[in-house]
A and B are shown apart, each in its own frame.
Chain A
């Protein structure tokens, strides 16, 4: 099984630990390779909501950390932001791609690239301060089984934000406040989606929303629009 985790911030740094623990002793899914993708550094300012043992490039630090803890999994670190030049190395046929980035432009890039593949599973998550959502885009045999990330989300199809490789240092250093619990909830729902698909063959759900103030979660089943790769 080949897995990519794109973005190792508040969501991805937690998700990578949890997915690794689940897969490390799972005999039926061996061999497992996990690609860790992030061009950003783990710094002191991230300490309140990101899970790393050392400072440095997030993909590299996380690779070293997880390789020591989960020795049945092969880890590859991609110390770069995802872009059109490197996406073919990261989003591949028959892989499972977790998108835990902080911008819609990268979500669109992954979604559009996945539409060109025959078999791929994309699980994307994002949040605001106290609520968030995950989206599940499944392609099987060249068909969309669930809607793409852009199908019902014009804000992803026509993003107003920038991808990290387009941002200045000043823009990168400026971050809206986030809550660790909300990141944690997104990561948890992404893991639930993974488990439902891999272990339960449940392909029905295409999106899940949650709100930690009302403590509600709500799953959605939507019909994919006719977009073919």
Chain B
């Protein structure tokens, strides 16, 4: 998966507040609608740091050990470079899919897949049935859910 393109502080500071808020929406950073420009820039930098940490936490795949079989439930698959990549089930409402996000933060997943899964920016993240914050790092075998708002009408 391609890494997020980090925008330098100088470039961030040259942007308007409206542009920065759009960026926050794209990254899934909540609570910025009334924040000051400096705070928005800080929040975006913090987001970059969290994402960078999640990359650092990922173990390098090993080439020297062969896995005897591929799990039939498709939690794992063979990449083109002969390494195994673990998938995590990510869902929001009725939508769900498996994504290669082991070692990534819940916030990163929200930002990356929010349009595909229709995740609202303030959606709570739940890992294995328990609420977590956006900086929570996902492990192999986790199930990640973003809570969709309940239907109102009847």
Contacts and interface: CB of A to CB of B under 8 A. Distances in A.
Interface of A: 7, 9-12, 100-104, 107, 124-128, 131-133, 135, 149, 152-156, 161, 176, 178, 183, 186, 209-211, 214, 216-218, 220-223, 225
A222 B124 CA distance: 12
- For the complex of A and B, list the 10 residue pairs with the smallest distance between their C-beta atoms, beginning with the closest: A126-B151, A211-B94, A127-B151, A132-B151, A216-B94, A209-B93, A11-B154, A223-B129, A209-B94, A102-B154
Contacts of B147: 152-153
A211 B154 contact: no
Contacts, number: 85
Given A133-B148, A216-B96, 12 more contacts: A9-B154, A10-B154, A107-B150, A126-B150, A126-B151, A126-B152, A127-B153, A131-B151, A152-B124, A152-B147, A155-B150, A220-B91
Interface residues on B, range: 10 to 19
Contact residues of B: prevailing secondary structure: loop
Contacts of B88: none
Contacts of A154: 124
Interface of B: 91, 93-96, 124, 126, 129-131, 145, 147-154
B154 A7 contact: yes
Nearest to B91: A218
A126 B153 contact: yes
Interface centre among B91, B93, B94, B126 (most CB of A within 10 A): B94
A210 B150 CA distance: 11
Nearest to A135: B150
B134 to A, nearest CB: 16
